[in-house]
Chain A
Amino acid sequence: MSASRLQLVRSEPTRPVDDDRARMAAIARGESAALAELYDSHAPALLGFATRAVGRADAEDIVQTAFITAARMAHTWDGRSASARAWLFGITARHVKERQRASSRFARALLSLATEPTRIGKSPSGDRLDTSAALEHLPEAKRLVLVLAEVEGFSGEEISKMLDIPLNTVWTRLHHARRAMRELLEETP
């Protein structure tokens, strides 16, 4: 790898240039058409994010709850501090955290019944699913930060605001998540 390539590593996903500000103002006034537009613009990405964070079974419910929350709180949105996309991801991330906290007890109970340590599932279809499987083995807090940073392309500052954690905590979790991922993937031929 050349030195110049390192500068290209950080990639931001395409951020649609849209009129979210007008939409949010209209939603705050109770206009359902604006809410429909906001939903159609962002719901697919949020559903993907929620699916990676908590699985397919709960993702639909989380996205639904997140948009209902967003509609109710539209009047509190401040476009200067966060884009509508980042704001929606923040609301969704909070619902994800709620769901993870709630389900962690149940998961711990199930794990306590296991007689053998869990293993990473391998997929015959290649690296992509191996990466996805490894992601599922990360602790929830680290997985959330890693997904927001590397999959969704948010900056450390944006993640810090979304999850309401210090910026240094974001970097620490990101570092440990990457290290864990690399170890998991190296162990999975």
Chain B
Amino acid sequence: MSACIRLPEVEAAKDGRGALDPAHLSTCAACQAEAASLLKLSLDLSSLRTALPVDRDALARAREVVLSSALVPRRAIRWQRLAVAAAVLVVSGVGAMVAFERSAPTPETRIQATDEGAARWTIDSRNDSEAITLTEGTLRLSVTRPTNGKQVVVHVPDGTIEDIGTVFHVVVANGATQEVRVDQGAVRLSLTGFGVVEVHAGEHWSRLLELAKPGSIGQQPAAEGDDSRDGEDSAYLLVIRSLREGSSEAAAEAARAYLAKYPRGFRAREVEAVLRPEAAPE
């Protein structure tokens, strides 16, 4: 059987990215053989989907871990994640955690970056630093930097994160840094509205937790606090915190302040509800 120059069209037709003339196929033995071969392979492979017995025990074990760790508060997650990571390291070796390794141009500084979830990032070697730009998602970074090596700076939408010889995770979502967890070493955060903060091994920085801290709201720069979503969140959290502390007067004052600044705010209806008891005639 001689080869047919239209053989590639058979595979293209199978994949739905092209059409093969049925008249040609009905008369070309080579194309018929190619189609038969592709069909047999396709059937063999698709049969693998049901060939493996489902490992119910493995599914149950993983289910328990997923449900117990995936949605608990971040602070609790950290230790469970570390336990999972430790198990992975034991099973697969130190290299098993490495998703993507890029050696820096200068041999002294080494960066291992792991995409832990939909990370969009780039790396750029500059004269004085290795600049990583993370615009979205979760990235784990392991930096090995000798004394004279280039510093690694992570540029996030709302600031920078400088490593101080470390392993850390950065979560960026909705155009802002949501979370930084440090496994080893330390990092220095310079994020809009939060000043400069150092986070050390075992510690965890969370935007939401920072906003909820007593006193943190008043420390927000006025210009940013007034105009940004952070400012609105902060004003809302002040209302909630006052309610939780049982201070209805402070809550009402905070609510009025929120509505004055954000009359069409995201939480305006909830905040108005705080004021309704006061509005009722005595």
Partner of B118, one of A27, A57, A67, A76: A76
B65 touches A73 (CB 8 A): no
A67 touches B44 (CB 8 A): no
Q: Number of contact residues on A: which range applies? A: 35 or more
The listed residue (A11, A60, A103) touching B55 by CB distance below 8 A is A60
Given contacts A32-B67, A151-B45, contact A65 B38 (CB under 8 A): no
B58: contacting residue among A60, A76, A97, A101, CB under 8 A: A60
Interface: B173 (CB within 8 A): yes
A102 touches B97 (CB 8 A): yes
Name the residue in B15, B61, B62, B91 with the highest tally of chain A Cβ atoms < 10 Å from its Cβ. Answer: B62
Do B47 and A128 have beta carbons less than 8 Å apart? Answer: yes
B208 to chain A, nearest CB (A): 12
Question: In whole Å, how far is B121's beta carbon from the nearest beta carbon of chain A?
Answer: 12
- Bound together, the chains give a CA A58 to CA B15 distance in angstroms of 31
Interface secondary structure of B, over-half rule? helix
List residues of chain B with CB within 8 A of the CB of A72. Answer: 70, 117, 138, 171
List the count of A-B residue pairs having beta carbons below 8 Å apart.
Answer: 193
Question: Would you call A69 and B48 a contact (CB within 8 A)?
Answer: no
Are B87 and A4 touching (Cβ within 8 A)? no
Cβ of B104 within 8 Å of any chain A Cβ, yes or no, is no
Main secondary structure of the interface of A (DSSP, over half): helix
Tell me the residues in window 1-55 of chain A with beta carbons closer than 8 Å to chain B beta carbons: 1-7, 9-11, 13, 27, 30-32, 35-36, 39-40, 43-44, 47-48, 51-52
For the complex, what is the distance from the CA of A58 to the CA of B96, rounded to whole Å? 11
Within 8 A of B (CB), among A116-160: 127-128, 131-132, 135, 146-147, 149-153, 155-156
The reply on A181 being an interface residue by CB < 8 A is: yes
In whole angstroms, how far apart are the Cα atoms of A51 and B87 in the complex?
18
Task: Determine whether the beta carbon of A57 is less than 8 Å from that of B35.
Answer: no
Residue from A59, A146, A175, A178 having most chain B Cβ neighbours under 10 A: A178
Residues on A lying within 8 angstroms of B by beta carbon are 1-7, 9-11, 13, 27, 30-32, 35-36, 39-40, 43-44, 47-48, 51-52, 56-61, 63-65, 67-69, 71-73, 75-76, 91, 94, 97-99, 101-103, 105-106, 127-128, 131-132, 135, 146-147, 149-153, 155-156, 171, 174-175, 178, 181-182, 185
